[in-house]
Amino acid sequence: MYAGLNETLKQQNIRVSTVWGYFRKRIEEELAKDPDARASQEYLRRLDSIATYHEVLGDLERVGTGISQVFEAVQDSLEQFQRSIDLTVTHLTAHLEGAIKLLRRAMSVKIPEDCPVLPGRPIIKMTDRLNDVAADLRGFASSRLQQWIARGQIPRAPNRDALTADLVQSVFGEGELEVRLLKTNASRPQWTPVTRLEGSGGQRLTSAFLLFVTVGKVREYDTGISSAGFLLADNPLGKSNANDLMRIQTQMAKAYKIQLIYLTGISDENAQSMFDNHLFLNKVQKLRRRDLVTVDKERHALWAASLAAKPQFDPVI
């Protein structure tokens, strides 16, 4: 475009010069026919007083050079802007690829095969399109960036979740990931959309536990740490003490090396007996409005004796 404009300016320069020459020649011819013609003499006198036609029409060459310089500067800025866009698209593409890999890894987390409840079932299911997504995601990232630029607004969040979700939606469409969570029902495996989770308080708590394990397992791929650490829960047995739900929690903790620390005041021996370590605490006094506790060794001994007379479960944590 810029080269074409420069060529156009040169052609106009030539045309103006040619027309100017024809105009002067015509006046000289008319004056030769009638040397006494005052009009022709006046026209010729005025033409001679003008050094060049550039004084009338301006210096097209100078103007053309100035315009060309401006366009060259603009072109350089546009090229720099395009390089910035290309680099941004590259980063967005890498981020999008990483997000899709995490989703695939989340689908690979399953209930342990040796768990008596829902063995080997995946915790999360998503659309089958996740496995067939295009290998080259650059086009999706580029298109989304252009939309953000057109709107003048980029999704922002402290942890980039909004941007990640928007990028993923550019591939699958909003709400089309079809994320479903395993329903902790021992009768038959079911996966419920995460927006319509149902069930008892214990089932919902166990579902939250499964999500915690899934997040820890997915994080393992990035950090290389093969354990989610520990989970400290305040009275989970108050909601979740059914045998099948407790088995899911303890077996998952064992399989994925999670140390469970459950605090409870519920004396449900069936649920408590699934844990091999028990620590009984007694409040002994208050100090500056804080309760001080101590280990109740006597009660712990009684508990151990009561378990000795009952069938024992395998240690899980």
Residue 16 lies in a domain: yes
Which residues, 6+ apart, have CB-to-CB distance to 266 below 8 Å? 235, 237, 238, 241
Q: At what angle do helices 138-151 and 161-172 cross, to 10 degrees?
A: 120
- 84 lies in the same domain as 170: yes
- 104 lies in the same domain as 164: yes
- CB-side exposure of 39: number of CA atoms within 13 Å? 6
DSSP characters over 245-284: HHHHHHHHHHHTTEEEEEE-----HHHHTT-S----EEEE
- Burial class from Cβ neighbours inside 10 Å (0-12, 13-18, 19+) for residue 137 reads buried
- 20 lies in the same domain as 92: no
- 84 lies in the same domain as 171: yes
Token pair for 22: 């024809």
- 100 lies in the same domain as 169: yes
The pLDDT assigned to 87 comes to 92
The three-class DSSP label of residue 91 is helix
- 100 lies in the same domain as 162: yes
State the Cα–Cα distance between residues 279 and 286, nearest whole angstrom: 20
Which residues, 6+ apart, have CB-to-CB distance to 262 below 8 Å? 233, 235, 236, 237, 275
Residue 225 lies in a domain: no
Residue 263 lies in a domain: no
- 101 lies in the same domain as 167: yes
- 47 lies in the same domain as 85: no
221-240 in b/e form (b: 16+ CB < 10 A) is eeeeeeebeebebeebbebb
Residue 149 lies in a domain: yes
Per the structure, the count of domains in the chain is 2
- 92 lies in the same domain as 138: yes
- 86 lies in the same domain as 151: yes
The pLDDT assigned to 239 comes to 83
Residue 172 lies in a domain: yes
State the Cα–Cα distance between residues 59 and 57, nearest whole angstrom: 7
- CB-side exposure of 134: number of CA atoms within 13 Å? 12
Token pair for 187: 């009768």
Token pair for 78: 């546009």
- 173 lies in the same domain as 95: yes
Convert the pLDDT of each residue in 175-223 to its tens digit. Answer: 788 889 888 876 778 888 888 877 788 888 888 899 888 888 888 877 7
The pLDDT assigned to 285 comes to 58
Residue 116 lies in a domain: no
Token pair for 157: 């969040």
Q: Tokens 């829960």 — which residue?
A: 233
Residue 183 lies in a domain: no
- Which stretches of the chain score pLDDT less than 70? 1-6, 8-10, 12-13, 16, 19-20, 22-24, 26-27, 30-31, 34-67, 157-160, 186, 226-228, 282-317
Instruction: Report whether 16 contacts 10 (CB < 8 A).
Output: no
Where are the strands (E) in the chain, listed by range?
Answer: 124-125, 180-183, 190-193, 229-234, 258-263, 281-287, 290-295
Residue 217 lies in a domain: no
Instruction: Report whether 9 contacts 60 (CB < 8 A).
Output: yes
Residue 53, domain extent = 2-58
The pLDDT assigned to 313 comes to 40
Share of the chain above pLDDT 70, in %: 67
Query: Does the model's pTM come out above 0.85?
Result: no
Q: Tell me which of 119, 143, 178 is where a domain ends.
A: 178
- 35 lies in the same domain as 98: no
